[in-house]
Structure 1
Amino acid sequence: MLFSLVVTGVVAILALPVIIPHLLHGHHIAHIFLHVGGITLAVFISILAGFAYYRLRTKRLLLSSIAFANFIAAEVVLLVDATWPSIYDLEFMPLAEVGHLLTFATLGLLALGVFRND
């Protein structure tokens, strides 16, 4: 039930600005759907990790929740870069690199959460 709500919500939010304008762009839509799927899974896992943290209140679950929320940000940045390449580039770094740095930070936070001794 929760997964269905998350999928519906994410697709509904991204349909008009991202999905529909690129629907007939061949393989480009596949790349966009890859990031939409990543956002969907990241939101779903973030909600589950948030519920788990709310119940147990451990630092390990807090780090995991922050990591999955960070992964949402990484996927949003990568989706913006895939949808509108070179429009939202930063002066000092391409937007794709920002997404990759956020993904790397996600892995670091997850590693801290998994290997932390409480």
Structure 2
Amino acid sequence: MSYECDYDTRIESIVANQLISIGVPPHLKGFIYLRDAIILMAHNHELFANATTRLYHVIAHHYAINASMVERSMRNAIRITFERSPSPVKAELFSTLLDPGRDRPTNAMFIATVAQQARYGL
């Protein structure tokens, strides 16, 4: 096995475990798209500046779907995650980032926050 393959497997495992600990249901398509987006952003933070125009399109192209499906699936996974019972990891990561009127983060905020944590985990 090559180093690159080991690294890719390691970061994928770190991000998947983070998502599960936050409470994102792994059976949702949004879980896979969030995982991929977080990995891409952990590798290249410049993607964040144009998340809706670049990041969604890169993932959509990979799965042969359109960008709006990626965005909607991610939003649904985040919505379900924040409607379910609280998780200590979720509270730790997002409690100070949410405005008082918001009950969940935006896709971009969620991806950027978890990507930052993934970078620290490497």
Q: TM-score range by the shorter chain?
A: 0.3 to 0.5
For normalisation by structure 1, the TM-score amounts to 0.37
Structure whose CA Rg is larger = 1
Larger relative helix fraction: 1
The higher-RCO structure (CA 8 Å, 6+ apart) is 2
